Amino acid sequence: MCGIVGILGKSAVATQIVDALKRLEYRGYDSAGVATLEDGGRLERRRAEGKLGNLEVKLSEAPLSGAIGIGHTRWATHGRPNERNAHPHATEKLAVVHNGIIENFRELKEELQAEGVRFETETDTEIVAQLVTKEILKGKSPVEAVAGVLPRLRGAFALAFLFAGEEDQLIGARHGPPLAIGHGEGEMYLGSDAVALAPFTDEVTYLEDGDWAVLSRHGVQIRDLKGRPVERKPQRIPSGTFMAEKGNHRHFMAKEIYEQPEVVGRTLAHYVDFATGRVKLPATLPFDFKTLKRMSISACGTAYYAGLIAKYWFERLARLPVEIDVASEFRYREPPMDEGELALFVSQSGETADTLASLRYAKAQGQHILSVVNVQTSTMARESAAIAPTLAGTEVGVASTKAFTCQLTVLLCLAIAAGRARGTLSDKDEAELVDELIRLPGLMAEAFKVEPRIEALNRDLARATDVLYLGRGTSYPLALEGALKLKEISYIHAEGYAAGELKHGPIALIDEDLPVIVIAPHDHLLEKTVSNMQEVAARGGKIVLVTDARGAEEIGMDTLATIVMPTASPTVAPILYALPIQLIAYHTAVFMGKDVDQPRNLAKSVTVE
């Protein structure tokens, strides 16, 4: 992951670099650093362990005044997250920042060590700095040196170089993770994405895979993998695209949880014709649902759980068999795929390395590629034959919330469209489902009434060392999502299970200290789930039941707490029940004093595998 920035400015750029890095902190916050060229082209850098605030302190104590510089916010892969391993890495000739992994760094390091090069850090990035320096010391220009080194690097990386004495030149390279070039007036910028560059310019050129670029204050020359000059068209990024403020909320996560009725409504307005009560897909799909024999879904983390819920919908509503896998397994499993079928990918960022690699694999297998993405300028969006955008807006909190419910909303609309095309849903079925969807934002707003009940559980959950989440049908992926949410922001160990699996092992964990969160809206599986709850209660487990009024009445069991949700149809229930699941994790983590927006060890966009 990591965020990288480069600026060729007119006056001191360090503050601008830090501002841009703040917009990239979602990519990691283990350490940060800036390097600039000071008087006479001398390289200077400031680095600090931890979040950007620490770097700001260092810069205020020892400011940098150079008008050209690069910066980095790190998510550690190679080497501990301390100041020594913080980017930029530098020699007397250059400084470099890096996002990604240089996979052959061991052999390159051994080669350099055999030649007497001494390394200061444990990072793979320092190898790049040393290799390019070696070429410069042989008399090559920075451009020649970079051109000579890039083909030697294996892995996925984006790089930005700053050279001692070169006050009008930055070099950027993309091999995997994205890199964008910003065009200003007499100024030029480099950034991991357009979000970082938004305060400076709305004109952005995305490098394509294998591209590298030489920037001066007056323009950019882009070359492809083979060193041939290529043209890449700049794009205008509409103003306001990336704006995100916390408003009156204490955390971005809270704000994003509360935004859900609005953004789900906005997404629905894009996919549903309210007048006719029909689903209308915003783009013409390059395939016909009717003729598909099967489809595959792959994604990571929360997006994967959205895909898992969608599997239930596509199979039930459209009778379309769905194979689903986490992208990190799918890509290396290399599954056989019949040509002409549909491969669907789900991603908030559109940059997740494993999902992108899976997309490319499926494309090579002759699949129709459809991506459900939130960032419409992302690499996945650009590489897909069609996209179904989620209109969640910028999601800042590392824990995905509103992106998840918007993904579910889009996936349900796609499943309904598939059902119609395949003749498994009638006009009436579609109208009923659309009606349920239309009522959803209102139900979501109403659901926030359960918040005080959830907040009151803080103490019990915060005391637990483990928490179990159970559900059946579409509540099972929701149980997995609930456990993920709690783990990632509170650091309490949690597991999600299909309720029916309990007796095959996890029941051994149940005792008086184990909270068991059961997601059980009133549906055709309720009775079965109740049996599993009885098994938990018989062993002294503390049950937190999330259900609706009818479910609560029918279950009628003693629980630690029963959260009574508004009544929704079983089909849309998983979208509604995402809210209490998110609130449970949020309030527990806040009560425990955790950094819910930037939990330890995580990053919002996972561009390494």
Our CB check for ligand M6R shows the closer of 267 and 348 to be 348
Stretch of residues binding ligand M6R (CB under 6 A), selected from 217-225, 295-303, 498-506, 584-592: 295-303
Residue 488 binds ligand M6R (CB under 6 A): yes
CA distance 476 to 519: 8
Query: Measured from the CB of residue 488, what is the shortest distance to ligand M6R in angstroms?
Result: 6
Give the range of 75-83, 298-306, 432-440, 503-511 binding ligand M6R by CB under 6 A. 298-306
Footprint on residues 333-362 left by ligand M6R (CB under 6 A)? 347-349, 352, 355
Pick the closest to residue 346 from 335, 334, 359 (CA basis): 359
d(CA 340, CA 322): 15
HEC letters along 578-595: HHHHHHHHHHHHHHCCCC
Q: How far apart are CA 533 and CA 519, in angstroms?
A: 11
Bridge partners, residue 100, by sequence: 157
Q: Of the listed 2, 300, 406, 413, which one is catalytic?
A: 2
Minimum Å gap between C-beta 252 and ligand M6R is: 12
Catalytic residue among 134, 311, 487, 604: 604
Q: How far is the CB of 398 from ligand M6R (least distance, A)?
A: 5
CA contacts within 13 A on the Cβ side of 190: 39
Taking the C-alpha atoms of residue 422 and residue 426, their distance in angstroms, rounded to an integer, is: 10
Q: Minimum Å distance from CB 342 to ligand M6R?
A: 19
Cβ closest to ligand M6R, residue 149 vs residue 399: 399
State which residue, 31 or 352, has the beta carbon closest to ligand M6R: 352
Name residues whose C-beta falls within 8 Å of residue 34's C-beta, 6 or more positions apart in sequence. Answer: 14, 17, 18, 21, 45, 46, 47, 55, 59, 64, 69, 70, 71, 72, 88
State the pairing for strand pair 68-74/31-38: antiparallel
Beta bridge partners of 278: 273
Q: How far is the CB of 498 from ligand M6R (least distance, A)?
A: 20
Q: Which of 169, 205, 302, 598 binds ligand M6R (CB under 6 A)?
A: 302
Q: How far is the CB of 337 from ligand M6R (least distance, A)?
A: 21
- Cβ 482 to ligand M6R shortest distance, Å: 11
What 3 state SS string does 379-441 have? HHHHHCCEECCCCCCCCCCCCCCHHHHHHHHHHHHHHHHHHHHHCCCCHHHHHHHHHHHHHHH
Residue at shortest CB range from ligand M6R: 301
Specify the residue, 2 or 213, whose C-beta has the smaller distance to ligand M6R.
2
Q: Cα–Cα–Cα angle for 333, 412, 341, nearest 5°? A: 40
Report how far residue 485's alpha carbon sits from residue 302's, in angstroms, rounded to the nearest whole number.
9
Please count the CA atoms within 13 angstroms of the CA of 225 that sit on its side-chain side.
9
Return the H-helix or E-strand segment holding 553: helix 549-555
Q: Give the whole-angstrom CA distance, residue 320 versus residue 414.
A: 12
Residue number with CB closer to ligand M6R (192 or 559): 192
> With CB under 6 A as the contact rule, which of the stretches 211-219, 330-338, 397-405, 464-472 interacts with ligand M6R?
397-405
| Burial class of residue 448 (count of CB atoms within 10 Å of its CB; 0-12, 13-18, 19+) | middle
Smallest gap from Cβ 574 to ligand M6R, in A, equals 16
Selected binder of ligand M6R within 237, 303, 318, 468 (CB under 6 A): 303
Size of the site for ligand M6R (CB under 6 A): 16
Distance, in Å, from the CA atom of 98 to the CA atom of 102, rounded to the nearest integer, reads 9
Among 394, 400, 588, 607, binds ligand M6R (CB under 6 A): 400
Tell me the CA distances in angstroms from 313 to 76, 417, 453, 530, one per residue in order.
Answer: 38, 11, 31, 23
**Residue 303 or 406 having the CB closest to ligand M6R:** 303
Among 8, 96, 264, 606, binds ligand M6R (CB under 6 A): 606
**Whether residue 604 lies in the annotated active site:** yes
Q: Cβ closer to ligand M6R: 31 or 302?
A: 302
Catalytic (active site) residue 10: no
Judged by CB under 6 A, the residue of 220, 317, 398, 480 near ligand M6R is 398
Q: Which of 237, 318, 399, 578 binds ligand M6R (CB under 6 A)?
A: 399
Active site residues: 2, 604
Binding site for ligand M6R (CB under 6 A): 300-303, 347-349, 352, 355, 398-400, 484, 488, 605-606
